[in-house]
Amino acid sequence: MAAAPKRSSRPTPVRKAWRSLTWLGVIIVGLFAINAAGVIWGGGSWTPKLALDLEGGTQIILEPKLESGQSASQEQLDQAVSIIRQRVDASGVAESEVMTEGSNVVVRIPGELDAQTKARIQSSAKLELRPVLMASAVTDQSISPSDSPAPTDEPALESTPTVKPTDASDPNWVTPALQAEFDSFDCSSLDDPSASAAPSDEPLVTCDATRTVKYVLGPVEVSGANIVDATNGVITTQSGASTGTWAVNLVFDEQGTKDFAKVSTRLYALSGQAPRDQFAFVLDGAVLSAPSMNGIITDGKPQITGSFDQESSKALADQLKFGALPLSFTVQSSDTISATLGTSQLQSGLIAGLIGLILVVIYSFFQYRALASVTIASLVIAAIITYLTITILSWREGYRLSLAGIAGLIVAIGFTADSFIVYFERVRDELRDGRPLVGAVEAGWKRAFRTILASKGVNLLAAVVLFILAVGSVKGFAYTLGLTTIIDVIIVILFTHPMLQLLAQTKFFSSGNPWSGLDPNALGAVYRGRAEFRKPTEQPARKVASSSKEAQKRQTIAERKAAELAGQSEGKES
């Protein structure tokens, strides 16, 4: 006869507990490994970055560029503040401050200011779509004075088309004066905004952003104001395979869709007639990309390609998505500023958190005796996961910990302990009903888990709403509150409940030791159902009396009424 397969002697709850603890260990090790990889190879750190109020940073004062006698309206300044704040937040810089001071816009950013963030802040992001009339690669040859056109000949060059152009791609736009300007144009002058500027209904001479190609572009046919969304992503083939090339995907509004459909229809008919079958995306006077038209696009969703990587494509998409600034700005000053609060406030916040943690521990030991060890261990595990998560977010997403964020972490201590209290009390209720500890842990978990999810769902919803509606440091509070709420649920599922399942198998807890916090007699386990009482067996009179009082305190209103009716009926029978 074949031997029967061996079955594990370990109970099912124990197997489930060890499986959950294993997954928790995997999560902690994974977070630790990600953080270590960031420290070794990615410029990460073992400590989270601090926000403006605790570390200091950079202050930029932007001054509007206005013609003589003009002044910026408060509406324009408020709109600029809103757009700049969106750009800074989109770059991953958290806890920044953007405000108006007089007629200037002041931007305060924690830490050091990098070039890309600075470009996001002050770029006007004026996007135009112009057809290409002429294109030429830039050579290293310089033009000597003898070869350049004489200044006295320039007025003689015709600047008005002799034949009226029929569309924006008509070569008749290229007049002798425009040709001369194109021949003499120096791409190094592209940094001067006035050198590559022209009215929207006139041609433009400019270069691409890499200064390698010169262009003559026709009048503007689609405006960047018609963009409703812009995202970056990797281009994929029809089979879904990645090409490794980054692009910016645009979505036009109704008017932009109509205008772009007309452009694509005309340029597609010019296929093979380079460069007239090309169109240029021009950002602040420089050509980002000038692709040829490979089809008629009527859905209003073109794609900008070029020499992009992930960061540059995201930076451009953010600039275009959040619109053009209503004003052009120049950087009046850029200075390093000190922390507004400093180290002493950080230490005070940490001390406050430590005091709160100590009070929770004292209460847990007073209320739950040895069971408080599970609470303490759960809080320690939650602290480890929270710290590693915040550090990784600080490295990868630019998150910065402010004093408001620390307040969110302190508040989370109480919320986390609340989950344990709900669970422990449900287990105690099951013990009062006469269940053994193993069954009480499982039944109590089923009842407590629903309550915990409802409670944490409300907390998370409040954090999300606060994060969306608030600005500045309040976002930091909402962010940490939401993060710790999610971690709290993970800890309760993968650590607190499994630990109670394992402790229920030990003699100290299962026997109802008075110091375990789960003594059925001390909890008043003298009834087993709704108003269905049973007498305690072999208990001292004093202990029976105290247990009965405890049970009466724990009764619901319905149970008390049922007990009274039962007592009245017994009195009548007697």
pLDDT in tens, 277-307: 898 888 777 887 888 888 888 998 888 877 7
Per-residue DSSP letter, 249: E
Within 8 A by CB and 6+ apart from 207, the residues are 138, 185, 187, 190, 196, 213, 214, 215, 286, 287
- Most confident residue range from 79-83, 98-102, 115-119, 474-478: 98-102
pLDDT of residue 145: 37
CB 560 within 8 A of CB 530: no
Q: What is the pLDDT of residue 487?
A: 93
Please determine, looking at this structure, whether the domain spanning 58-123 carries the CATH number 3.30.70.3400.
yes
One-letter amino acid of 437: L
Higher pLDDT, 559 or 347: 347
Domains of the chain, residue spans: 13-41+341-510, 58-123, 127-140+156-324, 536-573
The HSE-up count of residue 170 (CA atoms within 13 Å, CB side) is 13
Q: CA angle 182-315-200, nearest 5°?
A: 35
Q: Return the higher-pLDDT residue of 188 and 22.
A: 22
Of the candidates 57, 52, 97, the one whose C-alpha atom is nearest the C-alpha of residue 341 is 52
**What's the pLDDT score for residue 99?**
86
Give the helix/strand (H/E) hosting 65: none
pLDDT at 491: 93
Q: How many CA atoms lie within 13 A of 475 on its CB side?
A: 14
Max Cα-Cα span within the chain: 131
Residue 555: predicted pLDDT: 54
Percent helix, strand and coil across the chain, each rounded to 5?
Answer: 50, 15, 30
Which amino acid, 127? Answer: L
Rg of the Cα trace of the chain?
Answer: 35
pLDDT tens-digit series, residues 242-270: 888 888 888 999 999 999 999 999 998 98
Which whole number is the average pLDDT over 427-436?
85
Q: Confirm if 129 and 219 have CB atoms less than 8 A apart.
A: no
Strand runs labelled E in 162-221: 204-207, 213-217
Q: Which two tokens stand for residue 255?
A: 């008017």
pTM of structure: 0.60
CA distance 327 to 63: 10
Q: How far is CA 402 from CA 273, 340, 409, 528, in A?
A: 58, 11, 11, 52
Q: Which one has a higher pLDDT value, 458 or 69?
A: 458
Q: Does 472 score more than 80 pLDDT?
A: no
pLDDT given for residue 154 in this prediction: 45
**Measured CA distances, 374 to 367, 437, 497, 514 (Å):** 13, 16, 9, 17
**For the segment 307-334, what is each residue's pLDDT rounded down to a tens digit?**
788 888 887 787 777 766 777 777 888 8
Task: Using a pLDDT cut of 90, give the percent of the chain over it.
Answer: 19
Q: What architecture does CATH give domain 13-41+341-510?
A: Up-down Bundle (1.20)
> Left if phi > 0, otherwise alpha if psi is -120 to 50, otherwise beta: which for 125?
left
One-letter identity of residue 264:
S
Give the pLDDT confidence score for residue 110 in this predicted structure: 81
Give the CA angle between residues 413, 417, 423 to the nearest 5°: 160
pLDDT for 94 = 62
Q: What is the model's pLDDT at position 223? A: 83
Average pLDDT over residues 418-437: 86
The arithmetic mean of pLDDT across residues 480-506, rounded, is: 92
Check whether 148 has a pLDDT greater than 50: no
**Average pLDDT, stretch 366-373?**
87
Same fold, 13-41+341-510 and 127-140+156-324: no
Contact assessment for residue 324 and residue 125, using Cβ atoms and an 8 Å cutoff? yes
Q: What is the CATH number of domain 127-140+156-324?
A: 3.30.1360.200
Strand boundaries in 154-300, DSSP class E: 204-207, 213-217, 222-223, 227-236, 242-252, 279-283, 286-289
Residues 373-400 have a mean pLDDT of 89
For residue 423, CA distances in Å to 20, 375, 428, 500, 571 come to 17, 11, 9, 10, 39
Question: Mean pLDDT of all residues in the chain?
Answer: 79
Q: At 479, is the secondary structure helix, strand, or coil? A: helix
User: Helix or strand or coil: residue 421?
Assistant: helix
